[in-house]
Amino acid sequence: MQPLPLLLAFSACVFAESLSNIRLSGPSTLPPDASKYLNPALASFSIETAFWTSYVGNVSNPNLLTQNLLENLKNRTGVPAEIRVGGITADSTHWNSTLEVALFNFITDDGTLHNTTVGPEFWKTMNLLPEGTNIIFNLDLENLDFEGTLDMATAAVENMKAGQLIGMEIGNEPDHYLHFTPESYTNLWMPWTKNISDALNISAPFFQIAATAEDPLWPYGTAAANAQLDCVSALAAGANNDSTVKTCSEHTYQYSVCDPVRLQQATLVDLVNHTRLAQYLDLWQPRIRSVREQLGSDSFVIGEYNSVSCSGRDGVSNTFGQGLWLLDTTLYAASINVSRLFVHQGGPLALQSSTQLNHGGLSLYDLWYPIENLNGPVKVFPSYSAYLFVAEVIGSSRSLRIGNIYPGRQANGSSITTEMGDESQGQLVVYGFWDDSLSVDFPVKLALLNLQSYNETTEGTRPSTTFDISEYLSESADSVAVRRLQAPGADVKDGNITTWAGQTYANGVAEGVLTEEKIAGGEIAVAASEAVLVFL
Ligand SMILES: *[C@@H]1O[C@H](CO)[C@@H](O)[C@H](O)[C@H]1NC(C)=O
Ligand SMILES: *[C@@H]1O[C@H](CO)[C@@H](O)[C@H](O)[C@H]1NC(C)=O
Ligand SMILES: *[C@@H]1O[C@H](CO)[C@@H](O)[C@H](O)[C@H]1NC(C)=O
Ligand SMILES: *[C@@H]1O[C@H](CO)[C@@H](O)[C@H](O)[C@H]1NC(C)=O
Ligand SMILES: *[C@@H]1O[C@H](CO)[C@@H](O)[C@H](O)[C@H]1NC(C)=O
Ligand SMILES: *[C@@H]1O[C@H](CO)[C@@H](O)[C@H](O)[C@H]1NC(C)=O
Ligand SMILES: *[C@@H]1O[C@H](CO)[C@@H](O)[C@H](O)[C@H]1NC(C)=O
Ligand SMILES: *[C@@H]1O[C@H](CO)[C@@H](O)[C@H](O)[C@H]1NC(C)=O
Ligand SMILES: *[C@@H]1O[C@H](CO)[C@@H](O)[C@H](O)[C@H]1NC(C)=O
Ligand SMILES: *[C@@H]1O[C@H](CO)[C@@H](O)[C@H](O)[C@H]1NC(C)=O
Ligand SMILES: *[C@@H]1O[C@H](CO)[C@@H](O)[C@H](O)[C@H]1NC(C)=O
Ligand SMILES: *[C@@H]1O[C@H](CO)[C@@H](O)[C@H](O)[C@H]1NC(C)=O
């Protein structure tokens, strides 16, 4: 497809005077390219297998912080976040029916985690999650031990309560081992899924394919791009010939500290930039379209993601800026029809890369530390509150569609970039939410993001942008309700000074007075490094 002429694409969505003032030009009606219905579990989690009991605890010692933080999300949508149990350690996790503890990590004195064993108590920890939590379980492919993988799959199916296990993956990031091509992967993966399905009497498609790590090569459709192992290339090689594929997962990490070269690029200001995160996620658009055509509307998930791979970076991924990145990433991905995103929680693994920055403890990109560890005490990070924002966007609606209002879209569906006319340089972002069951004339909510950098450590007045949303208000609306996601700056690392609707969640539960403003007149001021949810 050709992009729209620049002026048309731009003037169709906004008239921007300057950063201090932006008037959204409408129209207020449902955009023709609005997303599919948002999945209520859009904001979901991936928890590294070896760190499972660190996060969830066990039956005699449940982790109350984790329980409360997950319940807060369920309370807003009525549906729990989904949890994928997996990651690199899933390929070295074994089932042992006589193990007494829930989970055992074999770690040598040099700190290397060699493998993980789970026993019967492990499955009981699934009952510690909010009632109704769906689980996707990641099995081992790398060891090419079909019997071992079948044993684990059998234990998972037999020990989780009916309906809780909604899918299984075989292999984590298989594009990083065994020199798989789409064909050689498919030749193993497909019969394994078929044989496991037969052995366990699973009739409906039950497997989540790929779970691959590498970013798509661009441009799309070249010989090199087609040779990458991913959902689309595996499906093309016949991976669904036996109708075992339910969904597709690919992983996204926009930045990395796995090596010194990429370490230089993993900065806070680059992270908190809409142009950059949209350009990154746009690499997946052709795959998302293809997968949805083949497997259904809700079939493409980002099954593991975070901002900075190899466990994050201090001052970047543990900040409120990461919260703004997480919010924009989740909403932008939803706008290009990603069904659910599973933000990864875990810890650095000694053998992930010989040049990595982080060693030991829990990851610097985690949304909370459920236990004290080498990197700090029990703690909730600012970015947790971004997931509260997303959950409140969705609420109880099951017919909500998201549309990009600012900077808007090109004809091919990609976000308008800084180069193509986003006058805010990737700093101002507006999404609209239309509820199909109510009205297609006006959105029910708007998310206004001001990503302009402002630090707690910055001197001087905090800049602010006023968004004029009057074109989106019906004439009967006299005022709108506004909830804010706030912190003293993008560099803040503490949940106890990060507020959602005026409340902190540093101890797992809401503290402070719920604050919701009523604003008349259609002009909403949003400070630099702040986001607001407007209820129309
Ligand atoms: C998302 O899905 C909707 C409904 O299937 C479709 O109309 C829209 O074009 C899709 N968006 C993109 C970016 O593919
Ligand atoms: C959320 O919690 C409140 C207060 O406990 C409760 O009244 C409400 O029913 C809960 N909502 C859902 C969807 O669980
Ligand atoms: C299983 O766990 C038990 C109890 O810890 C241990 O004695 C046994 O060696 C383990 N089996 C295997 C195959 O690792
Ligand atoms: C549960 O966790 C506690 C605290 O970490 C530990 O001492 C205990 O062995 C665990 N029990 C099981 C069954 O894993
Ligand atoms: C875990 O790794 C250790 C050290 O390599 C090995 O001795 C042990 O057999 C492994 N356990 C399993 C269950 O594979
Ligand atoms: C899967 O089942 C087929 C048919 O029974 C069999 O030929 C094949 O060896 C099995 N594959 C594995 C990995 O067990
Ligand atoms: C297999 O599942 C079907 C329903 O999907 C059921 O009718 C049948 O009894 C099951 N067979 C066994 C051996 O469990
Ligand atoms: C899948 O089916 C197609 C069409 O029948 C066939 O060409 C292809 O070889 C099959 N692939 C596999 C992996 O079975
Ligand atoms: C959309 O078009 C722009 C400009 O030509 C290009 O940079 C971008 O990669 C395209 N995106 C997709 C998903 O094709
Ligand atoms: C955001 O990123 C884009 C693309 O790299 C760049 O052109 C723009 O200047 C950045 N914005 C800011 C405020 O640095
Ligand atoms: C905020 O701090 C980051 C480093 O953490 C720095 O790169 C950025 O320029 C600062 N922003 C402002 C407005 O000073
Ligand atoms: C927030 O927590 C930090 C430690 O993480 C502590 O130093 C600070 O005093 C706390 N601030 C408030 C307002 O409680």
pLDDT tens sequence across 465-496: 999 999 999 887 789 999 999 999 999 999 99
pLDDT digits (tens, 9 = 90+) for 402-441: 999 999 999 999 999 999 999 999 999 999 999 999 999 9
Ligand 4 centre and the CA of 48: distance in Å? 18
Distance 324 CA to ligand 2 centre (A): 26
Identity of residue 119:
G
Strands 207-212 and 245-256: parallel
Give SS3 for 436: coil
Which range (136-150, 287-301, 451-465) has the least confidence? 451-465
With a 6 A CB cut-off, is 115 part of the ligand 5 pocket?
yes
Q: Which tops the pLDDT comparison, 356 or 133?
A: 133
Mean pLDDT of 234-249: 98
Ligand 7, CB cutoff 6 Å, lining residues: 201, 203
Atom of ligand 10 nearest to the CA of 279: 4
Mean pLDDT to the nearest integer, 324-351: 94
CA distance 424 to 421: 9
**Between residues 61 and 113, the one the model is more confident about:** 61
Query: Which pTM value belongs to this model?
Result: 0.96
Average pLDDT of the residues in 19-36: 95
Q: In ligand 11, which atom is closest to the CA atom of 454?
A: 13
C-beta of 492 in contact with ligand 11 (< 6 A) = no
Ligand 1 test: best mutation among 1, 30, 35, most atoms within 8 Å of CB?
35
Give residue 245's pLDDT. Answer: 98
Task: Tell which wins on pLDDT, 3 or 313.
Answer: 313
- The pLDDT assigned to 313 comes to 96
36 Cβ below 6 A of ligand 1: yes
Looking at residue 475, its pLDDT comes to 80
Q: Which atom of ligand 11 has the smallest separation from the CA of 489?
A: 1
Q: How far is CA 107 from CA 56, 177, 258, 316, 505, in A?
A: 20, 22, 21, 29, 33
Residue 11's pLDDT is 36
Tell me the pLDDT tens digit for each residue of 28-85. Answer: 999 999 999 999 999 999 999 999 999 999 999 999 999 999 999 999 999 999 999 9
What residue's CA is closest to ligand 2, atom 14? 75
Residue 268: closest CA among 325, 194, 189, 191: 325
CB 285 within 8 A of CB 219: no
**Ligand in closest contact with the CA of 314:** 11
User: Whole-angstrom Cα distance, residue 270 to residue 501?
Assistant: 27
Cβ of 101 closer than 6 Å to ligand 4, yes or no, is: yes
- The rounded distance, in Å, linking the Cα atoms of 369 and 379 is 5
Nearest CA to ligand 7 atom 11: 201
Residue 209 CA, ligand 8 centroid: distance in Å: 17
Cα separation, 341 vs 426, in Å, equals: 22
Closest ligand 5 atom to 94 CA: 13
pLDDT at residue 161 in the model: 93
**pLDDT value at position 459?**
86
More confident residue, 110 or 536: 536
Ligand 6 centroid to residue 527 C-alpha, Å: 60
Q: Is 153 helix (H, G, I), strand (E, B) or coil?
A: helix
Ligand 10, atom 8: closest residue by C-alpha: 425
Which residues 6+ apart lie within 8 Å of 36 measured at CB?
Answer: 292, 297, 298, 337, 339, 401
Residue whose CA is closest, atom 10 of ligand 8?
Answer: 238
CA dihedral 253, 258, 262, 266 (to 10 degrees): 60
Q: In this predicted model, what pLDDT tens digit does every residue of 340-362 receive, in sequence order? A: 999 999 998 865 556 666 677 89
Q: Return the pLDDT at 2.
A: 36
Q: What is the mean pLDDT of the chain?
A: 94
Ligand 6: does its nearest atom lie under 6 Å from the Cβ of 187? Answer: no
Q: Is the peptide bond preceding residue 219 cis, with omega within 30 degrees of 0?
A: yes
The helix or strand, by DSSP H or E, that contains position 524, with its residue range, turns out to be: strand 523-527
Which are the contacts of 323, defined by CB distance < 8 A and separation ≥ 6? 381, 382, 383, 384, 385, 386, 485, 487, 498
Among residues of the chain, what percentage have pLDDT more than 70? 95
Closest C-alpha among 366, 373, 371 to residue 345: 366
